[in-house]
Structure 1
């Protein structure tokens, strides 16, 4: 089964750079930089009780991601993992503010990650693009400061194709970020927003109102048929991350991700890993879990990846190339 899943061309749209680096990468960087790392704190387990607890794993990982070289190397590491899953196109997202503890500027962080994407594309047959995350515990002004770097640096705009707001989720909190979201849209930035990861559908409705083209997670939406109809009507894709949602207790059982219902209602969705390292997952594991629980068929895997390419933020000519090469069967 695994070999067949691997052979199906895939895309991935929801993958956090810091949460997806491998243990080998972390150990190598820790040794090179002479940093003490507690390897027991870099991943979550079945005893994880919440999203907030899950997010604490990032504190340890980020210790080794504070230099230009470590950032470039991190992209290569994650793209290598994706390549082994059969991924042909990936969007990696990262929060630049998390990589400035040792003195890197916002511009230096962005350029280091872009350089990593360029190097990764040379090493693997994977198209790589990047999403920049503002954070929900940062102010609108702080997030605008980050987003401003994108439209004022033409040299990085090929690779940085959109923005996101990530972090812990509070009920009915989305509208307080309207200012930085409007700023991004004014400067023609593609928009995906974390929402509905912790049960608050108001955040999903508001994300759609604010112009989100995709919803990060959105798993709570599945319990609201009216919201699902809105997602379909507005043509907004759900970036679903099953194993991560199980760990954060966004869901208690995989069957709560009612993919047959999404297919029936024709709601756009794609399966993603979220954080390969923190969750100790990959796309083959994600799809295998869904197959074993009869939420998807092998035929579905090819279909949803082909359909989801429409929602990728990559330039249209590359989208056409990917479709013709991998998804036209």
Structure 2
């Protein structure tokens, strides 16, 4: 059959060369260790635990893997600490584009919180402009398309201002709005005015929900805040009952059924979820169950530096843990591209002109 992909052993080079789509990646969680050190030296930031790139990478990963979202987030004070000038922000954005393109990513949505980068006097508009300039240069130099997500911190009280900021830059590359940070005690409904603004402006919303908190967070994100995608969404598994025995038949609760019926994308980040304790191990991560039940599953990195991952390594982990084939990688990649906040005609072009031919060539 023309275009049919046959099962085949997947080595690292094959996975790396496969076209990939990334929907959930934090700019301040994906710096090159050497860049962190160089920016710290240039800006007089003296709080790094080490100035050896390999040791620093290991320090970030070790610190992130403590089974707690709050502890996972501690390392960001160093990356954010060196991202306080327009030059630093543009450099980090450019390098993110270059690194992802080298990893075979053809489309990425990268998110960041402008309010975290104003400690040295930058206006938030200048923060966004610097990041967009870095992405623009990266796209000019590398075969990748990047959409920018502007994020508000859920524990702060400036989400409406951040939403307005996102809309001011929508024609320059900002494709949507997000809230992030510790979920417990900070429900998404605290930011309803921001979400309503985004909806009124006909733009897009993804919300971190169901990572470290339960079904209530997912329900609020969807039914009150109008989330089009769920950042992580791991805890939707709490609304699925799997029968014991050989058939393992699953019964979906009303919320899980709604998520599946509406084809709401799950921005799943397996390694990060293990790091934060949202899943006990890769083998016990609900991604395979959700995939088997045909939820709209996608695979993402979350924070490449903190979790020590790439899109290639995440997909390799799925191959090694669950026996995914090239057809499975193609399926989650097309899921992600269908779910992107990029314009429909350009999404379709990437699927038909880049992703499908890329996988067909690998499977030939």
Structure 1 segments, 4+ long, off by >6 Å, are none
Measured after TM superposition, the shift of residue 21 of structure 1 is: 0.9
Instruction: Say if 1:152 and 1:86 are closer, same or farther in 2 by CA, change over 3 A.
Output: closer
Match of 1:113 in 2: 131
Cα separation, 1, equivalents of 2:103 and 2:238: 30
2:49 to 25, 30, 38: 38
Cα separation, 1, equivalents of 2:41 and 2:26: 23
- Cα RMSD over matched residues? 1.8
| Residue 295 of structure 2 is aligned to residue 267 of structure 1 | yes
Cα separation, 2, equivalents of 1:327 and 1:47: 33
Equivalent positions of 1:208-223 (< 5 A) are 208-209=222-223, 210-223=225-238
| Residue 208 of structure 2 is aligned to residue 194 of structure 1 | yes
Equivalent positions of 1:156-175 (< 5 A) are 156-170=170-184, 173-175=187-189
TM score, norm. by length of structure 1: 0.94
Match of 1:279 in 2: 307
Please give the per-residue CA displacement for 1:237-260, whole angstroms capped at 9, x wherever unaligned: 000001111111111111232333
Aligned 8 A contact 1:9 1:88 in 2? yes
Q: Where does structure 1 lack aligned partners over 5 or more consecutive residues?
A: none
Aligned 8 A contact 1:95 1:135 in 2? yes
SS at match of 1:128: strand
| Residue 26 of structure 2 is aligned to residue 16 of structure 1 | yes
Aligned 8 A contact 1:20 1:276 in 2? yes
Aligned 8 A contact 2:237 2:286 in 1? yes
1:49 to 67, 78, 91: 67
Q: Where does structure 2 lack aligned partners over 5 or more consecutive residues?
A: 1-10, 51-55, 241-252, 358-364
SS at match of 2:179: strand
Equivalent positions of 1:317-328 (< 5 A) are 317-328=345-356
Aligned 8 A contact 1:25 1:77 in 2? no
Instruction: Say if 1:295 and 1:218 are closer, same or farther in 2 by CA, change over 3 A.
Output: farther
Please give the per-residue CA displacement for 1:59-86, whole angstroms capped at 9, x wherever unaligned: 1111110000110111111122211221
Measured after TM superposition, the shift of residue 172 of structure 1 is: 7.8
Please give the per-residue CA displacement for 1:75-112, whole angstroms capped at 9, x wherever unaligned: 11112221122100001000000000000001101111
Measured after TM superposition, the shift of residue 191 of structure 1 is: 0.4
Alignment length, in residue pairs? 325
SS at match of 1:91: strand
Cα separation, 2, equivalents of 1:292 and 1:171: 36
Larger radius of gyration: 2
1:242 to 266, 270, 273: 270
Cα separation, 2, equivalents of 1:312 and 1:47: 29
Cα separation, 1, equivalents of 2:77 and 2:294: 39
Instruction: Say if 1:203 and 1:47 are closer, same or farther in 2 by CA, change over 3 A.
Output: closer
Cα separation, 2, equivalents of 1:11 and 1:93: 14
Measured after TM superposition, the shift of residue 47 of structure 1 is: 5.1
SS at match of 2:61: coil
- More off after superposition, 275-284 vs 319-328: 319-328
Please give the per-residue CA displacement for 1:175-211, whole angstroms capped at 9, x wherever unaligned: 2222221122112220000000014111111111121
TM score, norm. by length of structure 2: 0.85
Aligned 8 A contact 1:100 1:106 in 2? yes
Cα separation, 2, equivalents of 1:47 and 1:9: 28
1:184 to 170, 190, 198: 198
| Residue 322 of structure 2 is aligned to residue 299 of structure 1 | no
